[in-house]
Structure 1
Amino acid sequence: MDGFERGVVRRISIEIEFPDGSIGTTEISDPGQLSAIVFDESAVLATDLCAFNVSESDWRANPAMMVHTESGAAGIPLGAHNDRQS
């Protein structure tokens, strides 16, 4: 046997409650390409903070999380109210 066998995550659905109380969902349909999902500002790479903390005056522009496609790579902001699916 070559290494350890394990299940494969096929999809991640995330429900987000926004500051105005509305609920949105976002889906990551190919999570096998991700190395990390970051929810807390303290874990966001310094180089990604400007994409995570977009606006102090408009919370709709701020993403709920950053996703990374490889360790140490720039994050992709995801889950802002402005780009919500529902």
Structure 2
Amino acid sequence: MMYWNGGGWAWMAFMPLLWIVLIALAVWAVVRLTHHTAPRDGGTHRGPAPRETRETPEEILDRRFASGEIDADTYAEARKHLAAHRPRPR
């Protein structure tokens, strides 16, 4: 086997390192391009922040009445109760 003027040992040491770097770069690229979920690092992603929507008590009551879980009397009574106990704006 003929090496380039005795420099073969350098290539033998360099080639495994080159392959490790190339494989790591490919794995990083695949993860970077396919990872679409929110990050677990506290929100340092670049996209818009996901909005957490929470139903208000009135919306929950409306949904339950619309689906038939509660009747009209219970709905009206619960609406009155919610209106009486609504927090006052400051």
TM-score range, shorter chain: under 0.3
Structure showing the higher helix proportion among its residues? 2
The TM-score, its normalising length taken from structure 1, stands at: 0.21
